[in-house]
Structure 1
Amino acid sequence: MITTPYVPGSLLWVDLGSPDVKASAAFYAALFGWEFHSQGPEAGGYGMFTLGGRTVAAAGPLMAQGASSAWTVHFHTPDADATAKAVEQAGGTVRMAPMDVFTAGRLAGFTDPTGAEFAVWQPGDTRGLDAVNDPNTLCWAELHTTDPERAKAFYRAVFDWRTEDMPMGDFTYTVVSPATGGEDAGQGGIMGLSEEMRQGGWTTRWRPYFEVADCDAAVGAAGENGGTVVVPPQTVPGVGRMASLADPFGAAFAVITSATE
């Protein structure tokens, strides 16, 4: 599970790029109860989503011409510049060169060799999200890719992640964890895109998961507020009840009501 004492390679931030930040904020307020707080004109429209006064995500306007709305997951790095070099050496590309974000930290954006975009954050004043795993907060991230083996090799080379393959019927699900941390440090998964998924419009991407108290109720709320149900609620024994959604501008994410012991 994600933990807020963030260590190198850990999932520590998630933000939304939107063509209409105000409208997106209204959608997630209705769905998760989030409040949006702009960081002011100097931040270019970027702002924080909070829940109970704690930062749980962020959002900002789309910056690149032709970009589509999407959630981006960020992983901790102690040195963004060194990570950029590691990404290139492992076959990825630098989408956004390392840059300082005021005194908050240092940011860089990349694309892995299979086409999935992600980012890294070198903490300064901002260490990461204040809350994870609680209802209506980030709890997991999942990479759907056309080449799982290449993706696993890439992220191991860049972050030194631990990986554990778990056969699940006709496919294998790989749980990824930071190099340091206990047995419960799993923070995400990697799985291949099936032909059925590809025909359904799924593409290579990282998809954030948000914990919810009631998966079915969350799916209903998403639909009532302009979202789209991509995969309806389904129960995975021992894991929980989950669904894949898209917000009104097409940003993909999932919700899950985790199974209890």
Structure 2
Amino acid sequence: MPHGDITHIEIPVTDFAAAGAFYSALFGWQIAEAPGFEGYPMWQAPNKISGGAFTKREDGSTSPLSYVEVDSIDDTLAAARAAGGTVVAEKAPITDTSWWAVVADPDGNTLGLYEGMTTPPEG
């Protein structure tokens, strides 16, 4: 995906099963826990492009969080700071080939950052 595309949306919920039933009935989302991501039920829209996951609703995680794909989280964190934003969560690994972080704009809106690939390269 190109730099700047929204790639993933996390929705905080209190009950994974109830949320899965609701969103499946409402939008036809397919929901499953992928191997290695137990306790993080992921959803995929019927277009097979849009998707995300359910997270546990708790303090600090009460609104959906969109993740934007970037070429370099390190560069994007530096650019966010330089532009007046703040880093809410520093760069952390997802897999051996992917990372995430969270920034806030000057108004306090948060966006997740995603770099890499979660599936091994073919070859």
Question: After the TM superposition, which residues 39-188 of structure 1 pair with which residues of structure 2 at under 5 Å, given as runs?
Answer: 133-166=1-34, 172-179=39-46, 181=48, 185=49, 187-188=51-52
Partner of 2:110: 252
Partner of 2:89: 231
Structure 1 runs (4+) greater than 4 angstroms displaced:
none
TM-score (norm 2): 0.82
Partner of 1:210: 68
Bigger-Rg structure (1/2): 1
Q: Structure 2 CA distance, aligned partners of 1:151 and 1:208? A: 18
Q: Structure 1 CA distance, aligned partners of 2:76 and 2:112? A: 10
Match of 1:205, SS state, is: coil
Cα RMSD over matched residues?
2.3
Count of residue pairs the alignment pairs up: 119
Match of 1:150, SS state, is: helix
Partner of 2:56: 192
Q: Structure 2 CA distance, aligned partners of 1:239 and 1:147? A: 30
Q: 1:211 to 1:226 in 2, by over 3 A?
A: same
Q: Structure 2 CA distance, aligned partners of 1:173 and 1:186? A: 16
Structure with higher RCO (Cα < 8 A, 6+ apart): 2
Q: What is the identity percentage for the equivalent residue pairs of Structure 1 and Structure 2?
A: 25
Q: Structure 2 CA distance, aligned partners of 1:146 and 1:223? A: 33
Is the Cα contact below 8 Å between 1:167 and 1:173 reproduced in 2?
Answer: no
Match of 1:218, SS state, is: helix
Q: Structure 2 CA distance, aligned partners of 1:246 and 1:162? A: 30
Q: Structure 2 CA distance, aligned partners of 1:174 and 1:215? A: 24
Is the Cα contact below 8 Å between 1:159 and 1:178 reproduced in 2?
Answer: yes
* CA displacement at 1:253 relative to structure 2: 0.8
Q: 1:246 to 1:255 in 2, by over 3 A?
A: same
Q: Structure 1 CA distance, aligned partners of 2:112 and 2:103? A: 6
Q: Structure 1 CA distance, aligned partners of 2:53 and 2:73? A: 20
* CA displacement at 1:175 relative to structure 2: 1.3
Flag structure 1 segments of 5+ consecutive residues without an equivalent.
1-132
